[in-house]
Amino acid sequence: MKLGTKLIVYLVGVVVLTMLVHGYLSVRQDRENLVSEIRVGMRGFSRAIEAALRDLYADNHDLKATQEFVDRVGPRGNIHGIIVYDLQGKKVAVSSSLTENFPGLDPAPILALDPGSVFRKGKGTEGYIHGPGLLVYYHIEPIFNSENKFAGAFLLGRQGHGWRLAETIKTRRNRIVVTTSVLVLIVSLLILWIVRRNVSRPIDELIERIREIGQGRWEQRIQVTGKDEVGLLANEFNRLSGRLRDTYGSLVNEQQEKLKLERDLRHSERLASVGQLAAGLAHEIGTPLNIIGGRAEYLTRRPRSAEELNENLLIIRAQIDRIAGIVRQLLEFSRHKEPTLRAVDIASLLTEVRQLLQHKLDEKGIKVDQELPESPPVIQADPDLLQQVFLNLYLNSLHGLETGGWIKIRAEVSDNSTKIAPGASVARWLRIAFEDNGPGIRPEHLDRVFDPFFTTKDIGEGTGLGLSVSYGIVRDHGGEIQVESEPGKYARFIIHLPVTPPDAATTGQGLNL
């Protein structure tokens, strides 16, 4: 319900209630005025009738003259009737107006009245009888003789013109209905105009501006035309809009700086990883160089046949290609470029990472047990970033493993589970588990392994960014990475990557990293 409608309903209710109370009080006042008028007249009649009955009934006890008197007085004017009672409360004279049919007079209520209280208390009483179109006031007074002795009582009933009261109530009611209707109409139109001009229109404009801000149009403002509460609200909204625009701009700049810093951190981590690889790669490159040198020296000692030349040159060429491949892999890994999504064969990617680290694995005698599905799914991802994740996990295991240790890598496709990503719409996940039999991770460190700069390595052996960067890369691919460990037995990192990632990123667009 709109504000204007609410105001109209509330005020109309107040007006109607006020007019009803006013009408009730007015009718009640009219009734009291009519009753007061009749009561004043009754007192004069009562004194005159009491004087006549004292002579006729109390002193002379002339019942016939008494009956004639009440018959003559009973139907006159608006007197409803007269009843004379003896000392036992028995009716000894009843006016003909109460025993015969008179238009508009009902004798039953008067005849049923009991004068007993007058006999018990020795003083008069009064009251009224009312009903639909009927209003009769009565006085019951004691009758004393000339010696002031109690001789009986009489009842005087006076018609109060109930039709006058009914007409008064009807007139008053009609006037109240008309007045209330006109007042309600005027108040409703006035409120509707005021609310529409001063409340509804500014609020509608405010709502429209809020929608525009929700769509990113921060420059929109509300025209302030008054100094009332709505004007103050418009001013505050304009100031809030300006602050939101500035805050939004600051957040955008901070987000861009954060993204740039995150990319730089990831690149730095990749360069750090390259530094760790350099020593081992020197050995890998040194071996083919020794072969090349030995073959070249062999060819220069004496003239060789064409077959010997061809055979040794082919060996030299193969070793050169081997060196070029190693250097190319190293450069490809360390290159700083924008991430892009494309089809990735996880089996090939894991094999490439293992080949990069094969020299380190051989040095420590680490066995790698890699178990992949027969037909692993091709996922949409950035292969260079995933290569960095796998390399970080390999290096993390190599750091903690003793000579003769092992690394197990398992990959399988699993259905969605609330344990992976609650509320996710992805139906199938690629689960990749890296497990080693190293010293494991202490329980108090499990919740911090993905925190930036957290490391248990000695100073100079690690930056504490490897797992944190890996965590960010996996999350940016719409996946999850978890850690499980039992100290002294194993450490296991589990990666879940969506087989079909959110937003169907199959066009090779850059990740929002």
For residue 365, which amino acid is it?
A: G
pLDDT digits (tens, 9 = 90+) for 358-382: 878 888 899 999 988 888 788 889 8
State the chain's maximal CA–CA distance in angstroms.
Answer: 186
Q: What pLDDT, in 10s, does the model give residues 226-281?
A: 666 666 777 777 777 777 777 777 887 888 887 777 777 666 665 665 565 555 55
Owning domain of residue 473: 338-513
Q: State pLDDT tens for residues 139-162.
A: 888 988 888 888 899 998 876 554
Asked if the structure places residue 260 within a domain, the reply is: no
Q: What is the pLDDT of residue 484?
A: 92
Last residue of a domain, one of 154, 169, 184: 169
Domain finish residue from 123, 146, 169: 169
For the residues 491-498, what does the mean pLDDT come to?
A: 92
pLDDT tier, 502 (very low <50, low <70, confident <90, very high otherwise): very low
- pLDDT: is 13 or 502 the higher one? 13
DSSP labels for 94-160? Answer: E-HHHHS--TT---HHHHT---HHHHHHSS-EEEEEEETTEEEEEEEEEEE-TT--EEEEEEEEEE-
> Is residue 446 domain-resident?
yes
Does the pLDDT value for residue 28 go beyond 90?
Answer: no
Lowest mean pLDDT among 179-193, 195-209, 404-418: 195-209
pLDDT digits (tens, 9 = 90+) for 30-75: 767 766 766 666 777 778 888 888 888 888 888 888 888 888 876 6
407-425 pLDDT tens trace: 999 999 887 654 565 555 6
Kindly give the interhelix angle for 383-400 and 466-476, rounded to the nearest 10 degrees: 150
Q: Is the pLDDT at 506 greater than 50, yes or no?
A: no
Residue 280 lies in a domain: no
Does a structural domain hold residue 232?
no
Specify the CATH number for the domain of residue 155.
3.30.450.20
pLDDT > 90 fraction of the chain, expressed in percent and rounded: 7
Top pLDDT among 350 and 295 is at 350
Task: Classify residue 454: in a domain, yes or no.
Answer: yes
* Sign of the C-alpha dihedral computed for residues 328, 329, 334 and 340 taken in this order: positive
| Candidate from 99-108, 268-277, 473-482 with smallest mean pLDDT | 268-277
314 phi-psi bin (left φ>0, alpha ψ -120 to 50, beta other): alpha
What CATH code is carried by the domain that includes residue 457? 3.30.565.10
Residue 214, in any domain of the structure: no
Please write down the long-range contacts of 103-110, taking CB distance under 8 Å and 24 or more positions apart. Answer: 104/159, 105/80, 105/81, 105/159, 106/134, 107/81, 109/134, 109/136, 110/80, 110/81, 110/83, 110/136, 110/138, 110/155, 110/157
Given a cut of 50, whether residue 504 has pLDDT beyond it is no
Domain count, the chain: 2
Q: What is the pLDDT of residue 367?
A: 93
Neighbouring CB atoms inside 10 A of 380's CB total: 21
Asked if pLDDT for residue 459 goes beyond 50, the answer is no
Q: What is the rounded CA–CA span in Å between residue 297 and residue 294? A: 5
Q: Please, what is the Cα angle at 33 between 31 and 35, to 5 degrees? A: 70
Q: Is residue 187 part of a domain?
A: no
Which residue would you say has higher pLDDT here, 317 or 276? 317
Please say which residue of 114, 143, 169 terminates a domain: 169
Averaged pLDDT of the chain: 76
Own/partner long-range contacts of 247-252 (Cβ < 8 Å, ≥24 apart): 248/218
* 409 located within any domain: yes
**pLDDT above 80: residue 354:** yes
What mean pLDDT is predicted for residues 268-295?
64
